[in-house]
Amino acid sequence: AAGVIQSPRHLIKEKRETATLKCYPIPRHDTVYWYQQGPGQDPQFLISFYEKMQSDKGSIPDRFSAQQFSDYHSELNMSSLELGDSALYFCASSLETGINSPLHFGNGTRLTVT
Amino acid sequence: GENVEQHPSTLSVQEGDSAVIKCTYSDSASNYFPWYKQELGKRPQLIIDIRSNVGEKKDQRIAVTLNKTAKHFSLHITETQPEDSAVYFCAASNTGTASKLTFGTGTRLQVTL
């Protein structure tokens, strides 16, 4: 079965640079979520999109922005990177309008800021 | 906002024994409670979930119980196997779906031979 696809798997950036993470949800899923997971931490909700519109916002820094495109893929844009942004970034998708639709996570992008 | 506490942070059991992980939540409106298993460096994977209209759910060796009055839910793993070793996260949402999950801090389960 198709899963959530994230790219790249690994990304190394320097401080103050920008990064773009991509996410391709499971086909026909209408909602995309972004989570940030620091080393040894639980996933923290950043932002979500339902049918290409931002549906909810969590602890996303102002330096970050995200959008969902017409083909339902989503991109997380991160600017003025800081050392503390080093983390695993997970994208997840679900069928919000579906009954009992769980959250499916991608394999994550490991961002290292040096 | 929602706050989810999870205990213990680490748990070591012998193969074949049972493991219990407990979570409490603060938002009485929370109505969806999934559990995720995360192996080192990998994505969280849903292992079981429960909704507030159900008190208990079982799937083979895994069961989850929910006490809405106490705002408390637990994961039970019976007949543990070495491949059960991982970090387990509980989570809660007040939307009835997987949207805007608040995760617990995780339990590192080690199953020893």
Per-residue pLDDT, B43: 87
Tell me if B49 and A94 make a contact (CB, 8 A cut-off): no
- What's the mean pLDDT in A9-23? 97
Per-residue pLDDT, A99: 54
| Contact B103/A at CB under 8 A | yes
- What's the mean pLDDT in A3-17? 97
| Contact B106/A at CB under 8 A | yes
Tell me if B100 and A56 make a contact (CB, 8 A cut-off): yes
Q: Tell which of A103, A104, A111, A112 to mutate to test the B interface (max B CBs under 10 Å).
A: A103
- The pair phi, psi for residue B102, each rounded to 5°, is -105, 125
| Separation of alpha carbons A50 and A33, rounded Å | 9
Q: What percent of chain B has pLDDT over 90?
A: 75
Considering CB atoms only, which of A42, A90, A103 is closest to B98? A103
Tell me if B102 and A103 make a contact (CB, 8 A cut-off): no
| Contact B32/A at CB under 8 A | no
- Specify whether the CB–CB gap between A66 and A78 falls below 8 A: no
Q: What is the pLDDT of residues A54-87, one digit of tens each?
A: 988 888 999 999 999 999 999 999 999 999 999 9
- What's the mean pLDDT in A30-53? 90
pLDDT band at A102 (very low <50, low <70, confident <90, very high): confident
Distances (CA, A) of A57 to A33, A71, B78: 10, 21, 37
Edge to edge, the sheet with strand A19-24 lists A5-7, A19-24, A74-78, A64-68
What number of CA atoms fall less than 13 Å from residue A59's CA on the CB side?
Answer: 10
Per-residue pLDDT, B52: 82
What is the average pLDDT value for chain A, to the nearest integer?
91
Considering CB atoms only, which of B45, B89, B97 is closest to A94? B97
Q: Does residue A108 carry a pLDDT above 60?
A: yes
| Separation of alpha carbons A83 and B19, rounded Å | 37
* Radius of gyration (C-alpha) of chain A in whole angstroms: 13
Per-residue pLDDT, B97: 66
- What's the mean pLDDT in B15-41? 93
Per-residue pLDDT, A97: 60
Nearest residue in chain B measured CA to CA from A106: B43
- What's the mean pLDDT in B49-55? 87
Tell me if A56 and B99 make a contact (CB, 8 A cut-off): yes
Per-residue pLDDT, A66: 96
Per-residue pLDDT, A61: 94
Q: Does residue A89 carry a pLDDT above 60?
A: yes
Tell me if A103 and B104 make a contact (CB, 8 A cut-off): no
The C-alpha of A14 sits at a distance from chain B's nearest C-alpha, in angstroms, of 22
Tell me if A42 and B43 make a contact (CB, 8 A cut-off): no
What is the average pLDDT value for chain B, to the nearest integer?
92
Per-residue pLDDT, B49: 92
| Contact B34/A at CB under 8 A | yes
